[in-house]
């Protein structure tokens, strides 16, 4: 039966990736229709950011998203140490610790957080690399679309906007 209880159960990482791909398809269709048709490699980049966003809200619990989140942070930590950017090292340490001290479905499952944090990261990126503003802007747009698809799948549309 189509309306079986399992159909409405909570998605795992595969379900969130499918949601991220659906969000990607929606956003890229709008961009391709109204603005421009992106290059194939650019489309793959945006798909990667959308899938990363779709897994991001679960970094506060043991999950595939958390595993990839910590791998990325480890890479950034090593790069910051090699380049001797101690401010960046401390920011990475904060990003490592923060998911460990919050409860699951807490701040990481809030619209203001999954929209605000990527926008702040984009702002920092645009200040440091102003020649990459367009690239950063599109990457963040797709990341946010993926993260919102995660919230929609977990919480539903009405509960997604609770504060």
Domain definitions of the chain by residue range? 12-61+104-160
pLDDT of residue 2: 44
- For the chain, the maximum distance between any two Cα atoms, rounded to a whole number of angstroms, is 59
In whole angstroms, what is the distance from residue 144 CA to residue 51 CA?
10
Query: Would the pLDDT of 43 be above 60?
Result: yes
pLDDT of residue 7: 45
Band of residue 4 on the pLDDT scale cut at 50, 70, 90: very low
pLDDT digits (tens, 9 = 90+) for 114-156: 999 999 989 988 998 899 999 999 999 999 999 999 988 887 7
Mean pLDDT (the chain, rounded): 85
Range scoring the smallest mean pLDDT among 5-9, 128-132, 144-148, 159-163: 5-9
Can you give the C-alpha Rg of the chain in angstroms? 17
- State the pLDDT confidence band at 8, using cuts at 50, 70 and 90: very low
Q: Is residue 68 a contact partner of residue 58, using CB atoms and an 8 Å limit?
A: no
- What crossing angle do the helices spanning 133-160 and 40-55 adopt, rounded to 10°? 40
- Cβ-count burial 65-77 (b if 16+ within 10 Å, e if not): bbebbeeebeebb
Query: Is the predicted pLDDT of residue 6 greater than 60, yes or no?
Result: no
């Amino acid at each position: 039966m189509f309306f079986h209880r399992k159909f409405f159960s909570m998605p795992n990482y595969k379900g969130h990736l499918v949601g991220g791909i659906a969000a990607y398809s929606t956003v890229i269709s709008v961009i391709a229709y109204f603005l421009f048709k992106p290059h194939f490699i650019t489309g793959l980049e945006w798909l990667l950011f959308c899938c990363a966003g779709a897994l991001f809200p679960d970094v506060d619990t043991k999950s595939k998203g958390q595993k990839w989140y910590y791998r990325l942070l480890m890479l950034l930590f090593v790069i910051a140490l090699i380049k001797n950017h101690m401010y960046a090292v401390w920011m990475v340490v904060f990003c490592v610790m923060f998911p460990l001290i919050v409860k699951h479905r807490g701040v990481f499952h809030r619209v203001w957080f999954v929209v605000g944090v990527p926008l702040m990261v984009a702002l920092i990126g645009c200040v440091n690399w102003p020649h990459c503003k367009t690239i950063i802007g599109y990457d963040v747009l797709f990341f946010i679309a993926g993260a919102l698809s995660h919230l929609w799948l977990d919480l539903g549309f009405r509960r997604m906007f609770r504060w």
